[in-house]
Structure 1
Amino acid sequence: MPNIDELEPMPGVSVNDGNDGAIPLMSGFEVLGRILAQKGGVNYTKAELDSGDLPEGTIIDELTAPVQYAGDGLIASVENTGNGEATIVVQAHSMGVAVGFPCKGVLVYVEDPDTHGDVAYCYLDLHDHPVWIRPQGSSINSFATFSIQSIVTGAAYVTAVINPNALARIVDLEKYALLGHSHEITDIIGLADILDDHSASIELLNDLVSGDMPGGVNRTADFGTGTGLIIRDGVLNIVARTVTA
């Protein structure tokens, strides 16, 4: 179902937005069983675009790779809907595409809890309505985004490896903004670890600014000239612009 409101249209860009349920793969059911046995979570690792026609007699749920690999899809976000399904947003666009191609499927992979390798999990079938991805440099570039529903029933949590080349959507920026919006820090892949690594520095900065520790500054002042500073039990070095307790 189109939902163009979730995208910011750009001049010279043809936008396609799909919201579709993916076909669970046999390999996906097998890896989900191992995940549930270990009471673990589903971690989506990558997506691949398929431009091939299904050979006669092909059973889609037995696929373990694209029929014809056409490039990587970009995982932009993931959301656990809480009803046994997760929504993975995968993007495909013209950047880096030398020759245009019809995107006839999207194969999504998850991490195997035993081997930590990538396992084919679900397949979005677009053969009835393929999306044309134009080559880079065309007068009109392509940008397609697919909101893919996938089964995660019983998983302890849902995560994804977000592709750094994915384009941020307005809805995602609003959801993950650190100021002015409610958020859960665990939703932002890697951010919690970064904050943990620098927690001591952040706490020290807060203490210095608030004046809650010796050497702290208890009001706004000019470090360049030293005027307006009140230092408690500390030494101010104007040249280095530091306060030593």
Structure 2
Amino acid sequence: MSALAYVEGLAVRPSHVDRAARARRLIVDMAASERGCHLGGSLSVIDLLLAAFDRAEGDDGTRVVLSKGHAAAGLYAALHVTGRLAENPAPHYGQVGHPYTGHPGPKVPGVAFPTGSLGHGVPYAAGWALAQRLSGRGGLGIAVSGDGELQEGLVWETVQVAAARRLGNFVLLVDRNGGQNDGLVADISPLPDLADRFGAFGFDAAEVDGHDHAALTAILAGERPGDRPLAVIATTVKGKGVRAVEGKAGSHYVKIDAERAEKWKRGIR
């Protein structure tokens, strides 16, 4: 599919702003469940997930893997608003007898691989990209990761292998929201010159506003030229869309009551 045809095809979908707002409201509903959810990272990653799923539209062989599996609430919301998951996951999140657990598994429609242990989804997506190439089929293997997750050695082992095998159809989307479970990434394991790091491994690297859907769409459009894998470093805001928690490390895992959820949802645009 050409980049132009792909971008033109987006015109028939509901606007990204509408889908992103709907998805963020669903995530807030999941934070109001009995168990709560990983709110901050789910809100920050939603624009990346929507752009990745748009790229996978039409089943050209592209697969999207949420490697930062703790942001499962964001994944379920993205699957629902893109039409891949018919059932609204929010009322059933964390409930016995339903598949919408705190980390995603393959019982959820649209989830190709289970993720939870950080770092594991990156090699899943790279493996998919390699399998597609070996079988002569098209499509990308897209891993959606987080900057805290980049502390996992398995990520960099996969990056090295992907570059060595010249997996030009492998894309690593990094949700760089600056936070992780224990605080700020900059205070725990800083990531200076991240684009240069990926470049040194043999990747193409792009830096982008992770809430700019048009920019993300343009980067992911069409088939990847050449044989260098791509790392997209997307700067995002942890807790994006909910002003009470935006940019706060404490938004990593949140449980709220229904009244607060309704208040927060009214502010999402």
**Under a length normalisation based on structure 2, what TM-score does the superposition of the two structures give?**
0.22
Hey, which of these two has a bigger chunk of helix by percent? 2
Hey, which of these two has a bigger chunk of strand by percent? 1
- CA radius of gyration, larger in: 1
**Highest RCO, 1 vs 2 (Cα 8 Å, sep ≥ 6):** 2
